[in-house]
Amino acid sequence: MTPLPAATALDQFFLDARSKLLEAAAIFDRVGRGDGSENAATDPRLVKLRKAVEVLLGDAPNKAELLQQLFSLPYDADWARPAPRY
């Protein structure tokens, strides 16, 4: 698969990325302004969100993969596949 030229990718995805970044910033603002915000700093969910922002700011070429790993459970070889419900 041939990647899109950088300029084409920016043309196609800039407004969508801008919108999603503004939405993420608003969520951080809401958490920061909320009652108990000082306790939220250690909440594992907020810690993961902050790590995700660090990934986005980094130079890694596989940011989507790194974010997927950050928000996924570790592999468990003993995981039992759920049985279908009938």
d(C-alpha 29, C-alpha 51), whole Å: 17
CA neighbours closer than 13 Å in the CB half-sphere of residue 44: 2
Does the residue 3 lie in any domain?
Answer: no
Does the residue 1 lie in any domain?
Answer: no
pLDDT digits (tens, 9 = 90+) for 8-21: 999 999 999 999 99
Mean pLDDT of the chain: 95
Does the residue 37 lie in any domain?
Answer: yes
The number of folded domains in the chain is 1
- The predicted pLDDT at position 63 comes to 97
- The predicted pLDDT at position 12 comes to 97
With beta carbons less than 8 A apart as the criterion, state whether 48 and 39 touch.
no
- The predicted pLDDT at position 81 comes to 87
pTM: 0.80
Question: Which range of residues forms the domain containing residue 37?
Answer: 12-70
Please report the sign of the dihedral spanned by the C-alpha atoms of residue 38, residue 43, residue 47, residue 49: negative
Say if residue 86's pLDDT is above 90.
no
Does the residue 53 lie in any domain?
Answer: yes
Does the residue 83 lie in any domain?
Answer: no
Does the residue 84 lie in any domain?
Answer: no
d(C-alpha 63, C-alpha 69), whole Å: 10
